[in-house]
Amino acid sequence: MDHGTDPGHAHDHSHEHDHGRTATHSLATDPACALAHGEIDPAAERRTLLAVFASPVARYLLHFARDLGYQTVLVDPEPAGVTPDDKAHADAVTVSIGPDVIDHTTDVVVTDHDRPELGLMLRDALDHPARWIGVMGSMRHTAPHIAALRDLGVSEQNIARVHRPIGLNIGSRTPPEIAVATLAGLLAERSGRPGGFAF
C-alpha cells in the first residue's frame, strides 16, 4: 500500500503538526512554562551558598548549588585538609567567615557538627546578616552547636537563628541525597513554600 496516499496517515501527521504548534504557543504565552523549558532566562537574583568545612556533603552542595545559580564559597579553617575535589565547585575558598564572603543573600550550611571549630564558625556567621544559617545533624543526637555557642557568650536570641535539622525530610542518607534535600529546603524557604507533596 502507498502510505503517502493513506488518509489515515495524512490525518496523523496533521495532528502531530497541530500539537507542535500548540506546545510552542503554550510556551510563548506562559512565562512559567517557558522558564521551565529553558526558553527564557530566570531573573537575576543574587544568592550565595557558604559551605562550612570541607566534606563529602559540602562537595555536592557546592556542585549542585552552582547549577541553581548560587555563588559558591567553601570555608575551612584548616586549609591543609582541603583537597582539589573539595575546591572543584567553589567560586571562592577561604579559612574564615567575614564580610568578603557573607551578606544578606547568603545561606550558610555547616556540614560537620563534630569539628572543634564548630562554635567559632557559627559565631562568626552570626556576626553578619546572613539570610539563613543551618547545621547538619540528626535529631536523634544532641545539638552540640548550642553548648559551643553558649560557651562563647553568644546570646540565646542569636543561637535561635541557627536551624537544625536542615533540608527536606526525604529520607536522605548519602552525601548527594543530603545535599539535594538541603538545597531543596533552601529553595522552598526562599519561595515561602512548604516543600512537601501537597500543592
pLDDT band at 195 (very low <50, low <70, confident <90, very high): confident
15 vs 189: CA distance, rounded Å: 43
| DSSP tag of 79 | G
Nearest to 158 by CA among 128, 137, 185: 128
Per-residue pLDDT averaged across 89-96, rounded? 98
Name the residue with higher pLDDT: 165 or 182: 182
Fold assignment, 48-191: Rossmann fold (3.40.50)
Nearest to 109 by CA among 66, 55, 67, 169: 55
Percent of the chain with pLDDT over 70: 76
pLDDT band at 1 (very low <50, low <70, confident <90, very high): very low
pLDDT band at 32 (very low <50, low <70, confident <90, very high): low
Alpha helices in 50-135 (DSSP H): 56-67, 84-87, 118-126
Helix (H, G, I), strand (E, B) or coil at 12: helix
pLDDT tens for 67-90 read 999 999 999 999 999 999 999 999
Judged against a pLDDT cut of 70, whether residue 159 lies above it is answered with yes
Cell representation of residue 169: 525530610
**Which positions ≥6 away from 138 have C-beta within 8 Å?**
165
Judged against a pLDDT cut of 70, whether residue 17 lies above it is answered with no
pLDDT band at 31 (very low <50, low <70, confident <90, very high): low
Q: Are 51 and 175 in contact (CB under 8 A)?
A: no
